[in-house]
């Protein structure tokens, strides 16, 4: 899984969209599935999620160093049936 970012320019304005996506193969072709739209999240939230994905194997070590679970803001778009079956990270949502 990864966070995909793209910027669209309309005149002088620019809009950035962030999508939580996963890659998979279908019949030998690489395809991408959008899991959640993260565009309403702040830049800090996006940076925190990218950092968590980058170090997802080390989150338990970080949690132990902080003397408790890691808390991240709850993102309503992430509460989908697909993600309830397969959690992204072992963190506590607040």
Q: Does 17 map to a domain?
A: yes
Q: Does 45 map to a domain?
A: yes
SS3 label, residue 72? strand
Domain count, the chain: 1
Q: Does 94 map to a domain?
A: no
Q: Does 54 map to a domain?
A: yes
Please name the residue that has the structure tokens 């902080």. Answer: 66
Q: Does 47 map to a domain?
A: yes
Nearest to 64 by CA among 30, 29, 31, 90: 90
Residue 51 domain boundaries: 2-85
- Nearest-angstrom CA–CA distance, 31 and 56: 23
Average pLDDT score, the chain = 77
The answer to whether residues 62 and 56 touch, using CB atoms and an 8 Å cutoff, is no
| Global model pTM greater than 0.75 | no
Question: What would the mean pLDDT of 28-48 be, rounded to a whole number?
Answer: 91
Q: Does 93 map to a domain?
A: no
User: What is the token pair recorded at 61?
Assistant: 């070590």
Please name the residue that has the structure tokens 């309830």. Answer: 84
């Amino acid at each position: 899984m990864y966070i995909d970012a793209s910027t669209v320019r309309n005149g002088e304005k620019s809009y950035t969209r962030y999508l939580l996506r996963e890659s998979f193969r279908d019949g030998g072709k690489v395809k991408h599935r959008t899991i959640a739209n993260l565009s309403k999240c702040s830049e800090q939230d996006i940076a925190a999620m990218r950092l968590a994905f980058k170090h997802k194997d080390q989150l338990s070590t970080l949690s132990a160093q902080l003397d408790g679970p890691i808390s991240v803001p709850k993102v309503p778009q992430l509460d989908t049936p697909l993600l309830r079956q397969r959690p992204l990270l072992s963190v506590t949502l607040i």
